[in-house]
Amino acid sequence: MRALATILICSLPAAAQSSPPAKTRKTPAVAYRSECLNSAGFCIRVPAAWQRLGDIFGDLGFVVAEPHAGADSASRPQLTVAAIDLAPKEGGGTAAPVREPAIPSLDVLVERMLTPEGALASARTLERRRLLLNGASAQIVRVELRDEEGKPDAIEEIALIEGADGMVYSIALRCAQQDFTTENHSPGRQESAPEAAHSPQPRQDSQPNKAMKIIRDIAEMQAASRAARMGGLSIGFVPTMGALHEGHLSLARRARAQATLVVVSIFVNPLQFGPSEDFGRYPRTLESDCALLEAEGVEVVFAPSTEQMYPPDATTVVYVEGVSDRLDGRSRPGHFRGVSTVVAKLFHIVGPDCAVFGQKDAAQVAVLRRMVRDLNMPIELIVAPIARDPDGLALSSRNAYLSADERRQALVLHRALQRVEELAGSGETNSERLRSAALYVLADEPAAVLDYLEIVNPDTLLPVDSVARGALFAVAASFGPTRLIDNVLLPPR
């Protein structure tokens, strides 16, 4: 917990400073006292004048704050300490029942905090990054809080570390915006000035006047990434197959919010197409794609050739066993082996700090999360919400294949998702009843050829009997020759 406390960067008023004053300043010495979280077995030092406002999560957390200071007390510095229990990921032996994990990992915990239903739903995310603290996985989340009128009110920075005991320990420090500072607290990383963190994009350090660079050679891309890191820049990465639409551009914007240099790859990967699939006719629109990305302020486009990515004598593949054979992996044998192989190669070439993927490809996200975890890749995977047309159709490059009638027919997928969301929101948790309701909606559109319609654990893609702990509702269907997918995450009830 000490390691967490040292990386929070809200600058508190003098009475709450924990670091010694400069020699030229005469600041009264600050007395400290210990506040303990007995249930988790640790204590933390806080300024003696601060008040303990009470416990949270039963006996698994507490809040302390600067003494009441009048009308603006709502934005006074405040520290929240908590221990969060991660449910076991597997059963505890033959005598113990296997439990479906409520929060299977630190990544999922943070993502749920930032969802529209999460604890930070009304906040604006300024930064989220992954790091190691004394060998343990940790994340830093910085958000801008808003008052009842929607105006920026305070900054909260949350540090979370995953313990070996299956608990996540967190410290959240909240302070008014005028007390917020961005001192360089991470080796090799340069922070933006406070004004830049709250201003419209592009960022101050994103060099918006510099022409976008298109790189086709692997060695050149690796050299560019090394130079960026040596210059103190963080790299956000968005892998794509081109034929870009607003959904892809939203991923680039998310990468821009997380990093100081954005790389987008454009590569139609032959390994993820089956022999009877649409590799040959998949849209290839590099010139217009690059124009869109340049308008978004993307610094680098990496567009390698097939020969560069897969030399004739290449024999190595990456296969994530189990999860790769579920949902789309069952319908498209070998598909996720191609996905994990190309993404692993791209991660190795680009060397990003974070990579952004869309929730629409939920099965792909599950495969890549497992790959990153199992191979100890130091990369933060960020999952952005599904981008949709105004009528609800999920954006996809393959939508271009649809005729006007097929596009109208495809709207039934979104209607089925909405029906399941409506029922789950009203308290229905039985997966089979939810699935039956969705099938009833899909029956209204006889042109839809259903591939799968399943309610599964979003991390394992295994079916669940109940959505009470949260679940992924996923559907795939064809309209004419075009296969489309869609999904919705159902929050815990």
pLDDT digits (tens, 9 = 90+) for 141-178: 888 887 777 777 788 888 888 877 778 888 888 877 65
Same domain, 68 and 163: yes
| 358 Cβ contact list (under 8 Å, min separation 6) | 247, 251, 383, 384, 385, 386, 387
DSSP 399: G
pLDDT score of 372 more than 80: yes
DSSP string, 348-383: HHH--SEEEEEGGGHHHHHHHHHHHHHTT---EEEE
Q: Could you give phi then psi for residue 417, rounded to 5 degrees?
A: -65, -45
Phi and psi based region of residue 351 (left: phi greater than 0; alpha: psi -120 to 50; beta: remaining): left
Determine the average pLDDT of the residues in 74-96.
Answer: 63
pLDDT recorded at residue 164: 72
**Residue 203 domain-assigned?**
no
Q: Which residue did the predictor score with more confidence, 281 or 364?
A: 364
pLDDT recorded at residue 184: 39
Same domain, 142 and 168: yes
Domain boundary, last residue among 194, 229, 245: 194
Q: Indicate if 68 belongs to the active site.
A: no
What is the CATH number for 243? 3.40.50.620
Same domain, 379 and 408: no
Beta pairing partners, 476? 452, 485
| 29 Cβ contact list (under 8 Å, min separation 6) | none
pLDDT recorded at residue 45: 76
Over the chain, what is the mean pLDDT? 82
**Of 178-182, 187-191, 257-261, 325-329, highest mean pLDDT:** 325-329
**Token pair belonging to 134:** 């004394």
**Strand 32-37 relative to strand 167-176, pairing:** unpaired
What is the CATH number for 465? 3.30.1300.10
Residues 241, 117: Cα–Cα separation, whole Å: 31
Q: Could you give phi then psi for residue 156, rounded to 5 degrees?
A: -125, 130
Same domain, 238 and 350: yes
Sign of the alpha-carbon dihedral angle for 368, 373, 379, 384: positive
Domain boundary, last residue among 384, 419, 435: 384
Same domain, 186 and 218: no
| 328 Cβ contact list (under 8 Å, min separation 6) | 335, 336, 363, 364, 476, 485
Do 430 and 465 touch, CB atoms closer than 8 A?
yes
| 375 Cβ contact list (under 8 Å, min separation 6) | 344
pLDDT recorded at residue 40: 66
**Residue 202 domain-assigned?**
no
DSSP string, 148-188: TTS-EEEEEEEEEEE-TTSEEEEEEEEEEGGGB-----STT
Sign of the alpha-carbon dihedral angle for 244, 340, 87, 144: negative
What is the CATH number for 105? 3.40.1000.10
Determine the average pLDDT of the residues in 228-249.
Answer: 94
**Residue 207 domain-assigned?**
no
Q: Which of 248, 335, 348, 414 is catalytic?
A: 248
Residues 126, 50: Cα–Cα separation, whole Å: 27
**Residue 200 domain-assigned?**
no
pLDDT recorded at residue 29: 60
Place 190 in a pLDDT band, splitting at 50, 70 and 90: very low
pLDDT recorded at residue 202: 36
pLDDT recorded at residue 262: 97
pLDDT recorded at residue 100: 40
Name the least confident of 156-160, 223-227, 318-322.
Answer: 156-160
pLDDT recorded at residue 336: 97
pLDDT recorded at residue 397: 93
Same domain, 349 and 473: no
Place 451 in a pLDDT band, splitting at 50, 70 and 90: very high
Sign of the alpha-carbon dihedral angle for 361, 367, 371, 372: positive
pLDDT recorded at residue 149: 73
Same domain, 36 and 154: yes
- Residue range 323-348, pLDDT digits in tens: 999 999 999 999 999 999 999 999 99
pLDDT score of 196 more than 80: no
Q: Which residue did the predictor score with more confidence, 418 or 16?
A: 418
Same domain, 406 and 377: no
pLDDT recorded at residue 210: 66
Domain limits for position 238: 213-384
Residues 194, 214: Cα–Cα separation, whole Å: 31
Same domain, 108 and 153: yes
**Residue 474 domain-assigned?**
yes
pLDDT recorded at residue 175: 79
DSSP 457: -
Q: Which residue did the predictor score with more confidence, 240 or 158?
A: 240
**Residue 30 domain-assigned?**
yes
Number of domains in the chain: 3
Give the percent of the chain with pLDDT over 90. Answer: 56
Q: Which residue did the predictor score with more confidence, 117 or 438?
A: 438
Determine the average pLDDT of the residues in 190-211.
Answer: 38
**Residue 351 domain-assigned?**
yes
- Residue range 53-79, pLDDT digits in tens: 888 766 778 888 887 655 455 557 888
Q: Taking the model in full, what pTM does it have? A: 0.61
| DSSP H or E segment with residue 336 | helix 335-350
Same domain, 347 and 439: no
Q: Give SS3 for 412.
A: helix
pLDDT recorded at residue 104: 64
Alpha-carbon distances, residue 381 vs 129, 151, 375, 408 (angstroms): 10, 30, 14, 33
Domain boundary, last residue among 194, 227, 251: 194
pLDDT recorded at residue 133: 66
Contacts for 372-378 with beta carbons within 8 Å, 24 or more apart?
A: 373/105, 374/320, 375/344, 377/347, 378/130, 378/132
**Residue 205 domain-assigned?**
no
Alpha-carbon distances, residue 32 vs 29, 62, 73, 483 (angstroms): 10, 17, 21, 63
| 419 Cβ contact list (under 8 Å, min separation 6) | 437, 438, 440, 441
Same domain, 189 and 274: no
Same domain, 127 and 53: yes
pLDDT recorded at residue 414: 97
The beta strand positions in 367-464, using DSSP E, are 380-384, 449-456
DSSP string, 240-290: E-S---HHHHHHHHHHHHH-SEEEEEE---GGGS-TTSSTTTS---HHHHH
